[in-house]
């Protein structure tokens, strides 16, 4: 038991759902009204609760409500909130030093994280890594590296893609609102190709056929010889948990290899055990030239990386990559502890167990409700897409209503999708079976209330 700021004993966060007040409760509402006058309104929050503390798969709010977290802060707390080894590693590192800047006075933690990245990412070729603070920054740097190494400028991305909110990554992101609206002009030399989206593609279209459609468009409209890289999320995150048809990714990767195009997998949301493998490309046997990672890699501390073929990475001149905070020592310590937890608890297997428990529940809900047009995802990255049954017209209002009903009952779920009509689950991989069951029951009841 630790002490709070008044010196009173603090109760450990229980691993169960507790509804102490209505949600959001009075203290959360008070903070929401302070926020109105202090925080830019362009920054929004999907739940109305303000957090007091969190552990494992439970977030406790300032009113004492304990919410089951099926969102992990958008796929970040993969090892659970306040994972004890992460807490210990961070505490020790904070006491030793918090910052020197790796570009000024380097330290072991940065090197050790890059060594781990070489081990856990697919392919046994020689690799290098560079560390950054956010996913968007990693994506920006992957594009810089691909352009430098190929001497080409064009970048291919896909429909429904999400790669970040900075200027280059806004251009790479597909969806206008809320990410890009009135924020232009955008970076040039970005070309968008059709994604494999089994629910909405012509019936029976294979992954290879979807890849040919994309490759043909890029060949005709851009020219393979102008492309520095093809950048793709192996399972799309913000765009709606779109899982491409089998064969799509390998066909794209082999076209890239044939034409000297750098194949970049954006594993920022899918990476680090989330989908039941260390990385989602492994399900398709694809070894990317470069990979971007962030989110789950550091147990909640901000850390991101570009990892890839040594010849491409080392093409960049010394001093060409960097940033004040990239690979911060506290974030590196957290990452080493989080990766250790993933190994020790075999979290890829835990993600597969979560799928085994949750997918049948979601599928049986889909049988009861024809508005659930699709159940998809892999491992602990699962979603339902809500649409009008025959036309497949997206139903964003229903997805929002389901999410709100869950929040009110103390379960955090998130929405996503180009049309905002997808409800997604991203639980911490350490979630207990009972807690997940309870979260799924609440979700099922919310769906029943909203869809009737
Ligand atoms: N690439 C695949 O999922 C971040 C964004 C939430 P940053 N996804 C959550 C929001 O609305 O801002 C993401 C991602 C993929 C890149 C990013 C960007 O990562 O750490 O948010 O910059």
Dump pLDDT digits (tens) for 304-313: 999 999 999 9
Instruction: Give residue 15 CA to ligand 1 midpoint distance, Å.
Output: 28
CATH number for the domain whose boundaries are 2-82+347-451: 3.90.1150.10
pLDDT bin (cut points 50, 70, 90) of residue 11 is confident
Instruction: Give residue 237 CA to ligand 1 midpoint distance, Å.
Output: 8
Q: Is 268 in the pocket of ligand 1 (CB under 6 A)?
A: yes
Q: Is 244 in the pocket of ligand 1 (CB under 6 A)?
A: no
Asked if 245 contacts 251 with a C-beta cutoff of 8 angstroms, the reply is no
Name the residue with the closest Cα to ligand 1, atom 1: 163
Q: Is 173 in the pocket of ligand 1 (CB under 6 A)?
A: no
Name the residue with the closest Cα to ligand 1, atom 9: 74
The residue whose CB lies within 8 Å of the most ligand 1 atoms, and thus the one to mutate among 43, 74, 323, is 74
pLDDT tens digits for range 325-370:
999 999 999 999 999 999 999 999 999 999 999 999 999 999 999 9
Q: Is 384 in the pocket of ligand 1 (CB under 6 A)?
A: no
Q: Is 135 in the pocket of ligand 1 (CB under 6 A)?
A: yes
pLDDT exceeds 60 at position 5: no
The residue whose CB lies within 8 Å of the most ligand 1 atoms, and thus the one to mutate among 46, 136, 331, is 136
Q: Which atom of ligand 1 is nearest to the CA of 270?
A: 2
pLDDT tens digits for range 239-252:
999 999 999 999 99
CATH number of this structure's domain 87-344, picked from the four choices 3.40.640.10, 3.30.70.360, 3.30.70.270, 1.10.287.3510? 3.40.640.10
**Tokens, residue 448:** 């029943």
pLDDT tens digits for range 52-111:
999 999 999 999 999 999 999 999 999 999 999 999 999 999 999 999 999 999 999 999
Instruction: Give residue 295 CA to ligand 1 midpoint distance, Å.
Output: 8
Instruction: Give residue 1 CA to ligand 1 midpoint distance, Å.
Output: 35
Q: Is 267 in the pocket of ligand 1 (CB under 6 A)?
A: no
**C-alpha of 166 from chain center:** 16
Q: Is 233 in the pocket of ligand 1 (CB under 6 A)?
A: yes
pTM for this predicted structure = 0.98
Instruction: Give residue 22 CA to ligand 1 midpoint distance, Å.
Output: 31
* Domain locations along the chain: 2-82+347-451, 87-344
């Amino acid at each position: 038991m630790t002490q709070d700021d008044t010196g009173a004993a603090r109760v450990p966060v229980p691993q169960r759902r507790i509804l102490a007040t209505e949600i959001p409760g009075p203290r959360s509402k008070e903070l929401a009204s302070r926020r109105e006058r202090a925080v830019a309104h362009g920054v929004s929050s999907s739940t109305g609760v303000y957090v007091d503390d969190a552990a494992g798969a439970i977030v406790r709010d300032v009113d004492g409500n304990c919410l089951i977290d099926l969102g992990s802060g958008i796929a970040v707390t993969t090892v659970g909130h306040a994972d004890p080894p992460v807490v210990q590693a961070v505490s020790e590192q904070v006491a030793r030093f918090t910052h020197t800047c790796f570009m000024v006075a380097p330290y072991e933690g940065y090197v050790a994280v890059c060594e781990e990245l070489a081990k856990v990412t697919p392919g046994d070729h020689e690799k290098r890594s560079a560390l950054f603070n956010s996913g968007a920054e990693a994506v920006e740097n992957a594009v810089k590296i691909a352009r430098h190494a190929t001497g080409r400028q064009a970048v291919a991305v896909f429909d429904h893609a999400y790669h970040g909110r900075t200027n280059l990554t806004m251009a790479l992101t597909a969806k206008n609102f809320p990410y890009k609206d009135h924020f232009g002009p955008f970076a040039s030399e970005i070309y968008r190709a059709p994604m494999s989206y089994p629910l909405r593609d012509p019936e029976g279209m294979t992954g290879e056929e979807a890849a040919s459609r994309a490759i043909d468009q890029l060949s005709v409209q851009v020219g393979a010889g102008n492309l520095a890289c093809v950048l793709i999320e192996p399972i799309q995150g913000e765009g709606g948990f779109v899982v491409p048809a089998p064969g799509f990714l390998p066909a794209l990767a082999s076209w890239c290899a044939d034409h000297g195009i750098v194949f970049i997998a954006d594993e920022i949301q899918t990476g680090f055990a989330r989908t039941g493998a260390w990385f989602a490309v492994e399900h398709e046997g694809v070894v990317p030239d470069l990979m971007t990672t962030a989110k789950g890699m550091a147990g909640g501390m901000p850390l991101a990386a570009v990892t890839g073929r040594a010849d491409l990475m080392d093409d960049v001149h010394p001093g060409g990559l960097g940033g004040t905070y990239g690979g911060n020592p506290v974030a590196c310590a957290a990452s080493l502890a989080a990766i250790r937890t993933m190994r020790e608890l075999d979290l890829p297997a835990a993600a597969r167990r979560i799928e085994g428990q949750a997918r049948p529940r979601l599928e049986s809900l889909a049988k009861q409700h024809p508005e659930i047009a699709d159940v998809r995802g892999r491992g602990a990255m699962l979603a339902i897409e809500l649409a009008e049954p025959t036309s497949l017209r997206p139903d964003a209002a229903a997805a929002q209503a389901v999410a709100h009903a869950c929040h009110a009952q103390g379960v955090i779920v998130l929405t996503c999708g180009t049309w905002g009509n997808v409800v997604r689950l991203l639980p911490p991989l350490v979630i207990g079976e009972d807690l997940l069951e309870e979260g799924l029951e609440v979700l099922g009841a919310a769906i029943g209330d909203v869809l009737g």
